[in-house]
């Protein structure tokens, strides 16, 4: 892709109001700076000042902890050996978000729901499966929808992947509906995008136009999702200020965060990368 032109007839997610199209930043392009610079960007400074915690817990598990104690978990695979916290460590959750039906992403959702009563947010087919596995609060929502949970707005976006839920007793795979990504709207004009499992797709431009996420968790591991090059294209299409690589920390994956950084540099995409260790907070 050469120099990209984006149509900016857009609406920001900020409080849901229509905003001037020029207020949405253009695709990030730059010359040759290192994309792994640790210098805090505007949004990282704001997250820090607001007291929010954006934490990667390994694989695709992300915790968003607000300064007032509200806490969300996305794709909560806490039983993953690389995850530094376990179900027993969780005391409060206000929402559990599941991107799609694969078991590493449904993870420990049912256990966590039973422990905390937190509602589980997923497309209808995954919600229905979870209701059959003891989850009692799974509001109806689907792609394109935005709901309020615990006073936070959560938008479901499309993803390019598959979704199915394995029935352990029969071995059958139940239909899991369409896979999803999420944009979580945090207080203070901070929007965090979690891509779920996905390839890059051109409609990421629409996610940018609708929600203008500044921080994005992107899979980079290749093999079952996009790899470093696709993720670099995604960061560009989304206009991310900060990208955090995920979904690479299993032996079968070939894509690495370092290759992701290199692809961003090659494409001259002005997105800063934060390579976090499991349990590390964005700072
Ligand atoms: Zn998957």
Residue pLDDT, tens place only, 43-60: 999 999 999 999 999 999
pLDDT band at 10 (very low <50, low <70, confident <90, very high): very low
Q: Are 260 and 236 in contact (CB under 8 A)?
A: no
Averaged pLDDT of the chain: 89
What percentage of the chain reaches a pLDDT higher than 90?
83
pLDDT band at 15 (very low <50, low <70, confident <90, very high): very low
pLDDT of residue 168: 79
pLDDT of residue 40: 80
Q: How far apart are CA 87 and CA 102, in angstroms?
A: 19
Whether residue 113 has pLDDT greater than 80: yes
Cα 199 to ligand 1 centroid, rounded to whole Å: 11
Residue, of 184 and 17, whose pLDDT is higher: 184
Cα 166 to ligand 1 centroid, rounded to whole Å: 12
pLDDT band at 37 (very low <50, low <70, confident <90, very high): low
Cα 100 to ligand 1 centroid, rounded to whole Å: 7
Cα 106 to ligand 1 centroid, rounded to whole Å: 10
Fold classified for 24-281: Metallo-beta-lactamase; Chain A (3.60.15)
Compute the half-sphere exposure of residue 268: CA atoms within 13 Å on the CB side of its CA: 8
Question: What are the residues facing 146 on neighbouring strands?
Answer: 155
pLDDT band at 28 (very low <50, low <70, confident <90, very high): low
Report H helices in the chain.
42-50, 103-106, 109-116, 124-131, 204-211, 228-238, 257-267
Cα 197 to ligand 1 centroid, rounded to whole Å: 5
Whether residue 19 has pLDDT greater than 50: no
- The CA-based angle 194-39-153, given to 5 degrees, is 30
Question: What are the residues facing 164 on neighbouring strands?
Answer: 175
CB atoms within 10 A of CB 258: 14
Whether residue 9 has pLDDT greater than 80: no
Strand order of the sheet with strand 120-121?
120-121, 95-97, 71-74, 62-65, 53-56, 280-281
Burial of 40 (0-12, 13-18, 19+ CB in 10 A): middle
Cα 97 to ligand 1 centroid, rounded to whole Å: 14
Pairing mode of beta strands 152-158, 180-186: antiparallel
pLDDT band at 265 (very low <50, low <70, confident <90, very high): very high
Q: How far apart are CA 146 and CA 247, in angstroms?
A: 25
**Separation in Å, CA 151 to CA 72, 127, 135, 145:** 12, 21, 21, 16
Whether residue 185 has pLDDT greater than 90: yes
Query: Which residues are within 5 Å of ligand 1 (an ion), measured at CB?
Result: 102, 197
Give 206-221 as a DSSP string. HHHHHH--SEEEEE--
pLDDT in tens, 199-227: 999 999 999 999 999 999 999 999 999 99
**Separation in Å, CA 143 to CA 146, 174, 187, 241:** 9, 19, 22, 24
- The CA-based angle 206-139-14, given to 5 degrees, is 40
pLDDT band at 166 (very low <50, low <70, confident <90, very high): confident
Cα 142 to ligand 1 centroid, rounded to whole Å: 17
Q: Are 238 and 216 in contact (CB under 8 A)?
A: yes
Residue, of 8 and 33, whose pLDDT is higher: 33
> Of 18-32, 40-54, 57-71, where does mean pLDDT reach its minimum?
18-32
Cα 265 to ligand 1 centroid, rounded to whole Å: 28
Cα 91 to ligand 1 centroid, rounded to whole Å: 27
């Amino acid at each position: 892709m050469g120099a990209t032109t984006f149509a900016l007839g857009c609406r920001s997610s900020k409080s849901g109001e229509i905003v001037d199209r020029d207020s949405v930043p253009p695709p990030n392009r730059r010359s040759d700076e290192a994309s792994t610079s640790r210098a805090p960007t505007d949004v990282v400074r704001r997250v820090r000042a607001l007291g929010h915690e954006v934490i990667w817990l390994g694989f695709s598990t992300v915790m968003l902890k607000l300064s007032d104690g509200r806490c969300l978990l996305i794709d909560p695979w806490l039983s993953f050996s690389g995850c530094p916290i376990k179900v027993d460590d969780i005391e409060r959750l206000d929402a559990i978000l599941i991107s799609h039906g694969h078991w590493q992403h449904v993870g420990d959702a049912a256990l966590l729901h039973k422990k905390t009563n937190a509602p589980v947010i997923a497309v209808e087919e995954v919600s229905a499966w979870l209701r059959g596995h003891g989850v009692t609060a799974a509001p109806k929502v689907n792609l394109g929808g935005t709901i309020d949970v615990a006073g936070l707005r959560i938008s479901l976006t499309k993803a390019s992947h598959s979704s199915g839920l394995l029935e352990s007793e029969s071995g059958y795979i139940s239909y899991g509906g369409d896979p999803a990504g999420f944009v979580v709207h945090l207080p203070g004009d901070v929007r965090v995008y979690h891509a779920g499992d996905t390839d890059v797709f051109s409609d990421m431009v629409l996610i940018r136009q609708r929600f203008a996420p500044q921080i994005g968790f992107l899979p980079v591991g290749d093999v079952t999702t996009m790899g470093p090059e696709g993720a670099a294209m995604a960061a560009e299409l989304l206009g991310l200020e900060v990208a955090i690589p995920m979904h690479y920390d299993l032996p079968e994956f070939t894509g690495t965060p370092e290759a992701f950084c290199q692809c961003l540099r090659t494409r001259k995409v002005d997105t800063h990368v934060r390579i976090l260790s499991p349990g590390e907070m964005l700072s």
